[in-house]
Amino acid sequence: MKKMINTDKAPKAIGPYSQAIEKNGILYISGQLPVDPATGKIVEGSITEQTEMVFKNVESILKEAGYTFDDVVKTTCLLSDMSNFKAMNDVYAKYYSAPFPARAAFAVKELPLSVMIEIETIAIK
């Protein structure tokens, strides 16, 4: 049976989806945006500030489900502009250590709420 994971320490879903679903020891975290859950507003500033907020949101969901960044096996990073890749990567490297999760990173035409980054995450216990 799948279990919905929800925390008020990460932004509420803005559509018909869950913050995360856990099934058979695998946690699937929906794409997280740089939205401050305390205010419900997008974090203004650079890709660095937006990426930091995304990781705080991912961390809150991981903790709520009893996981850590060490349990993450795959991420998908969606960027509004590939010129932000290096700055995003610098923040990303602060949260993961070797062996690093598998990852895909794409530039997309547009992201929800016109943010610069969205990251989805899969973790396994």
Q: What is the CATH number of the domain that holds 27?
A: 3.30.1330.40
Crossing angle, helix 85-95 and helix 47-65, to 10 degrees? 30
Q: Which helix (H) or strand (E) holds 55?
A: helix 47-65
Q: Would you give per-residue pLDDT tens digits along the chain (125 residues)? A: 999 999 999 999 888 999 999 999 999 999 999 999 999 999 999 999 999 999 999 999 999 999 999 999 999 999 999 999 999 999 999 999 999 999 999 999 999 999 999 999 999 99
Of the candidates 122, 81, 123, which has an alpha carbon nearest to the alpha carbon of residue 105? 81
The whole-angstrom separation of Cα 30 and Cα 4 is 11
Domain count, the chain: 1
User: Which domain does 118 fall in, by range?
Assistant: 3-124
Cis peptide before 37 (omega within 30 of 0): no
**pTM for the predicted model, two decimal places:** 0.96
